[in-house]
């Protein structure tokens, strides 16, 4: 995504385009059904940073939604290191201008807070963490000023906002959670040599020297989910996932699931792989196919609305095979029932229920800040840890706070214990595959109850 179902990307843009054509096509709200309105934004800068052409959502679509199998054949490569190393070329020529003593550290973030799918929980968490740090005196004598924008699930708007943030002089970007915007900003970050500390977690972001993503990639999700289902006795598996509209992302995802099943002697057939559109209204066809094919276990990477629709289709046809789902399966918006009991849930972050002191600090701080409007979920954890790790890196810099020093400090961070949220994060020079571990829970009385510790691998993505 997670993750980070770190899995919706360009399809959100498609959803909005369809809505415009049909004159207000109604889409079921997902996270924002009971969410507050978008957090207040700072005024936008007037001048945008000059940059080369950025890819548009429409131009990047392969147009293969709702089909079976992979999309094309693309090999994902990284600069330096062997398979699974996550190595990239070191950033060159980052800004060495020092922030004056006592001056504020300006941070920018674009978070999708209005639209069919909302990440208000992420925005709340990032702001709450920075506010908490400021109340305690800041970091190294500096207060953190957050310029928070809302792309409204519009990639063009989000790219423009990112350009404006850079033009306005933000020191770094941190706490992004904008899946339709983020693929298009990686070239902009590299051109302007601006660090991104924490984001949604899309394929491009695991392969740039200027980005640090703390959620596990689809490579690790797929391998561990496939392997675990095989360990539970599944012999004929199926896979359902939302099309990323990226051949690299889709092929890497499918390869990871196949590798996970294969590690236990099980084959995932191409005929049992369903790539679906985020707006898919019913999963009856998928369930019918799997029943006829006698599929005895399914792995899914879906959003919350899709999980509700899949559950309904399964109930209608009395089909409940072994099932490994993403962390969004136990989001508060997904209805749990007797038929969802026993579902396995994979996550790269500790589960909120039963999470340790760091997770509970997140929950308590956000609730204290937002009261009845507080949104507590997986994406909120993501926004919190993004801010937390940014502050940890700044704290290492003393009086020499520069972008160049920040990038080097990020590579030196001690990731043991995952800051209380994840497994050990593998920081190091040029390494961007930071989180390589997944743990699994089982739905018991509607709640996620942990059944494994962290399970780690070197699956590339």
- C-alpha 460, offset from chain centre: 17
And the tokens for 7?
């899995």
Q: Could you tell me the CA-to-CA distances from 241 to 1, 216, 248, 303 in Å, in that order? A: 12, 16, 14, 9
Residue 67: the pLDDT is 33
More confident residue, 3 or 266: 266
User: CA 397 to CA 394: how far, in whole Å?
Assistant: 5
Task: Count the Cβ atoms, other than its own, within 10 Å of residue 450.
Answer: 16
**CA–CA separation, 448 vs 355, rounded Å?**
11
15, 279 in Cβ contact below 8 A?
yes
Lowest mean pLDDT among 85-94, 136-145, 257-266, 359-368: 85-94
pLDDT of residue 84: 44
pLDDT tens digits for range 424-457: 999 999 999 999 999 999 999 999 999 999 999 9
Choice among 246-250, 255-259, 341-345 with the minimum mean pLDDT = 246-250
pLDDT for the residue numbered 38: 66
Regarding predicted confidence, which is higher, 52 or 1?
1
User: How far is 404 from 91, CA to CA, in rounded Å?
Assistant: 9
Distance CA 65, CA 53 (A): 26
Q: Which residue has the tokens 């695991």?
A: 206
Angle among Cα 329, 222, 305 to the nearest 5 degrees reads 25
Percentage of residues in the chain with pLDDT exceeding 70? 80
State residue 46's pLDDT score.
30
The pLDDT tens digits for 189-241 are 999 999 999 999 999 999 999 999 999 999 999 999 999 999 999 999 999 99
Task: Assess contact for 295 and 321: CB atoms under 8 A.
Answer: yes
Strands 437-444 and 455-456: antiparallel
| Range of weakest confidence among 113-122, 156-165, 257-266, 389-398 | 113-122
CA 116/CA 35 separation, integer angstroms: 12
Mean pLDDT value of segment 19-42: 42
Name the fold adopted by 218-351+438-456: Rossmann fold (3.40.50)
Tell me if 192 sits within 8 A of 108, measured CB to CB. no
Bridge partner list, 111? 177
Percent of the chain having pLDDT more than 90? 72
Buried b (16+ CB within 10 A) or exposed e, 280-297: beebeebbeebeeeebbb
Q: Largest Cα–Cα distance in the chain?
A: 68
* pLDDT, average across residues 31-57: 39
Band (90; pLDDT cuts 50, 70, 90) = low
Please give the average per-residue pLDDT across 253-266, as a whole number. 98
The per-residue pLDDT for 66 is 35
**Lowest-pLDDT range, 41-45, 66-70, 202-206, 260-264?**
66-70
Per-residue pLDDT band for 279 (boundaries 50, 70, 90) equals confident
Mean pLDDT of 393-421: 96
Q: What is the pLDDT of residue 43?
A: 38
Backbone angles phi, psi at 259, to 5 degrees: -65, -40
Average pLDDT over residues 53-62: 30
For every residue of 162-222, DSSP letters joined together read HHHHHHTT-SEEES-B-TTTHHHHHHHHHHHT--EE--S--GGGGG-TTEE--SPPHHHHH
Averaged over 71-77, what is the pLDDT? 28
- Among the listed residues 253, 262, 261, 247, the one whose alpha carbon sits nearest the alpha carbon of residue 221: 253
More confidently predicted of 347 and 57? 347
- Bridge partners, residue 237, by sequence: 297
pLDDT score of 246: 85
Q: Which of 34-38, 50-54, 389-393 has the lowest mean pLDDT?
A: 50-54
* Cα–Cα distance, 436 to 433 (Å, whole number): 7
Rounded to the nearest integer, the mean pLDDT of the chain is 84
CA pair distance 121, 382, nearest whole angstrom: 9
Residue 271: CB atoms within 10 A of its CB come to 11
Q: With contact defined as beta carbons under 8 Å apart, do 422 and 437 qualify?
A: yes
* C-alpha distance from residue 3 to each of 130, 435, 438 (Å): 22, 10, 10
Tens digits of residue pLDDT in 362-384: 999 999 999 999 999 999 999 99
pTM: 0.82
Whole-angstrom CA distances from 14 to 257, 273, 290 are: 26, 22, 27
Question: What does the block give as tokens for 143?
Answer: 């207060």
∠ CA 11-17-20, nearest 5°, is 145
C-alpha neighbours within 13 Å on the C-beta side of residue 364: 8
- Torsion sign, CA atoms 377, 382, 387, 391: positive
Task: Provide the token pair at 260.
Answer: 């996970």
Query: Over 90: is that where the pLDDT of 107 sits?
Result: yes
Question: What's the average model confidence in pLDDT over 334-343?
Answer: 96
């Amino acid at each position: 995504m997670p993750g980070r179902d770190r899995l919706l990307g360009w399809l959100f843009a498609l959803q909005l385009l369809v809505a415009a054509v049909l004159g207000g096509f109604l889409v079921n709200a997902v996270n924002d059904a009971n969410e507050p309105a978008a957090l207040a934004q700072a005024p936008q800068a007037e001048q945008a940073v000059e940059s080369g052409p950025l890819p548009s959502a429409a131009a990047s679509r392969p147009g293969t939604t709702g089909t079976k199998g992979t999309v094309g054949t693309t090999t994902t490569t990284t600069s330096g290191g062997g398979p699974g190393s996550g190595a990239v070329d070191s950033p060159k020529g980052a800004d060495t201008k020092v922030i004056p003593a006592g001056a504020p550290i300006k941070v920018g973030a674009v978070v999708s807070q209005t639209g069919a799918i909302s990440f208000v929980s992420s925005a709340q968490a990032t702001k709450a963490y920075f506010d908490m740090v400021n109340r305690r005196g800041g970091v190294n004598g500096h207060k953190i000023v957050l310029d928070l924008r809302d792309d409204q699930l519009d990639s063009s708007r989000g790219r423009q906002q990112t350009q404006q943030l850079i033009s306005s002089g933000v020191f770094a970007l941190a706490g992004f959670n904008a899946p339709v915007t983020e693929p298009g900003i990686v070239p902009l970050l590299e051109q302007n040599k601006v660090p991104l500390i924490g984001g949604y977690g899309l394929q491009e972001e695991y392969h740039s020297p200027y980005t640090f993503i703390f959620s596990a990639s689809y490579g690790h999700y797929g391998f561990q989910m496939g392997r675990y289902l095989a360990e539970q006795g599944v012999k004929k598996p199926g896979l359902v996932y939302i099309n990323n509209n990226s051949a690299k992302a889709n092929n890497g995802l499918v390869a990871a699931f196949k590798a996970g099943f294969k590690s236990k002697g099980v084959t995932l057939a191409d005929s049992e792989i369903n790539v679906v559109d985020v707006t898919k209204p019913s999963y009856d066809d998928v369930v019918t196919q799997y029943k006829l094919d006698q599929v005895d276990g399914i792995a899914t990477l879906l959003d919350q609305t899709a999980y509700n629709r899949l559950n309904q289709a399964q109930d209608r046809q009395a089909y409940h095979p072994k099932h490994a789902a993403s962390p969004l399966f136990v989001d508060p918006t997904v209805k749990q029932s007797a038929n969802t009991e026993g579902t396995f849930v994979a996550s790269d972050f500790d589960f909120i229920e039963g999470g340790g002191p760091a997770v509970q600090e997140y929950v308590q701080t956000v609730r204290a800040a937002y009261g009845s409007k507080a949104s507590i979920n997986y994406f909120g954890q993501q926004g919190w840890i993004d801010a937390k790790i940014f502050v940890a890196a700044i704290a290492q810099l003393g009086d020499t706070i520069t972008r160049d020093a920040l990038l080097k400090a990020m590579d030196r961070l001690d990731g043991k214990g995952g800051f209380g949220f994840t497994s050990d994060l593998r920081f190091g020079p040029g390494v961007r595959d930071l989180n390589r571990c997944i743990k699994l829970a089982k739905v018991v009385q509607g709640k996620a109850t942990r059944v494994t510790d962290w399970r780690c691998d070197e699956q590339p993505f």
